[in-house]
Each structure stands twice: as C-alpha cells, then as structure tokens.
Amino acid sequence: MSAHIMVFDSGIGGTTVLEHIKQRIPNAQYSYFMDNAFLPYGAQTQQTIINRLCSLIHFIKLNKLNVDLIVIACNTASTSALSAVRKITDIPIVGVVPAIKPAAELTHSNHIALLATPATIASSYTKTLIAQHASNVIVSLYSSVELVNLAEQLFFNDCLDTIKLHAVLEDLNIEKQVDVLILGCTHFPILAKQISEYFENSIQLVDSGVAIASRVSYLLDELGLLAQSISDIKKPLQYYATANVFSDKLAVKLVTLIDPPEFEGR
C-alpha cells in the first residue's frame, strides 16, 4: 500500500514543500491541511501554535485518516511546536526548519541572512540552529509578515503587488555583503523569482524543500512504504482548510479544529 502523507501549513506556503515531495514520491496519497483560520502563524504565540497542532493530531485520529507521516511544512510551526507535538503522537513527523547549514556552507562572503516570520526569528530553536551550524559566519536576521500575505495573494489570485513587494524588501534593508539568503518561511519560495530579481539575481536563495523530500523518502523507506508510493496509481489530493478560501483554484474541504479532550476546561 502506498503511504498517506499529510502536509500541514498555516496557509498555502507548504505547497512549495509538497511539490518537492511529490516530485520524489509521485504516487503516495497526499493530503494538504491549511490552518488558515489562524494565518499568519508568524504573529501567533508559541502556545497557540502548539494547541493548534495538538488539535490537528486529534482531527487526524477522530476522522480516522490513517496518516502514515506528517510534514509540518511551516518553519514557524516547526520551530515552535515540533517537540511538543512529537510527544502526543506515534505518527512520524518531519519538520521544516530554516536551511541554516547549507547556507553557511554556500557563502563566499561569510555573511548570510535569514528571512522568516517574526515567530521563527524569535524562537530558541532558530537560535540553536545558528549556534550549531553557522557559528563561523555572520548571520543577519530579518522578519516579515507582509511577505506571507503577498505570497498568498500571488498563489490564489495570480497577481502580485510588485510595488508593495519592493517596498517590503527595501524596508528590510538586507546588508550588502550577504550573498546567501535563506527563505525561512515556506511561503517565500512562491515569491522567489521576484525576490531574486529585486536583488538583480546577485543573491543565492536557499530553502529546505529538496532536503525535506529526501528525509520523507528515507523515512517511508524505513516504514516499508516507499516502493509502493512510487509505483502505485496516482490518487487525488485532498485539501483541508479551517477558513474559507475565496478562490476556485483548489477544491477545499472546510473543517474545524477542536481541542483534544485532554485540553477541555483549560
């Protein structure tokens, strides 16, 4: 039997990771869950994000979705809640965190930048990643919530407010010496072409998509589900959302995340 892989994000950003996984493992059964009622996660507290992910696990159980592997395709959710969520489920979880290590290996100027949501930038997980993998280079940190909204607009409406994008990037004022920019939010690859053009293609952009697809493939192999997930017949992708999506681009099933019973009365 092919594996059921659920890819989760606050919004549409996780589809950038999903695309990499689908390329590698084309015929697994995929579902994509967006908690857009709480978008943007980057402006939420850590406790709220932990609660939402615990409710997601409850949703999977309650609806008997038989998920074999969850990809938290959200740097904000992964850096805030990965360890808490792993404690409450046996389903293997792959988190997506900023590609600090590859960026530190790629830089020639020894100066890299991380562009992520405010919550990811503030998280102790991110600080540890930098200390572990980039202690020999300068790492400048930049956060933006507006870029998440612009990526959502581009995805759903196929149009981008370029003036706004340039204004946001100008305000960030990324230091001139930076030669590698980490897109530390899964929404940002949706804007990669435009971001790259803004910097006249002089900065290398890196994200975690390919590495995540390899990790998923490795874990499915360990579970004995990889071969079938490659060779099986293609299955339709089910999208779930917690708030209405005003676009006919995707057929989305509207659902509610409720607190697991052990949360009641808190």
So which residues are the catalytic ones? 74, 185
**Residue 232 CB, nearest approach to ligand DGL (Å):** 29
The span of 53-61, 80-88, 105-113, 182-190 binding ligand DGL (CB under 6 A) equals: 182-190
| 6/226 with CB nearer ligand DGL | 6
- 39 interacts with ligand DGL by CB under 6 A: yes
Q: Nearest Cα to 6, choosing from 89, 80, 79, 87? A: 89
Residue 142 interacting with ligand DGL (CB under 6 A)? no
- Per-residue buried b or exposed e for 218-230, using 16+ beta carbons within 10 Å of the residue's own CB: ebbeeeebbeebe
Spatial separation of the C-alpha atoms in residues 133 and 127, rounded to whole Å = 10
Sequence-distant (6+) residues with CB within 8 A of 242 are 34, 35, 36, 37, 38, 254, 255, 256, 257
Beta-carbon contacts of residue 214 (< 8 Å; ≥ 6 apart) = 24
Q: Considering the complex, what minimum distance in angstroms separates the CB of residue 158 from ligand DGL?
A: 19
* Member of 2, 55, 186, 208 binding ligand DGL (CB under 6 A): 186
Nearest approach in angstroms of CB 13 to ligand DGL is: 3
> What residue ranges bind ligand DGL (CB under 6 A)?
9-11, 13, 39-42, 74-76, 117, 120, 148, 185-187
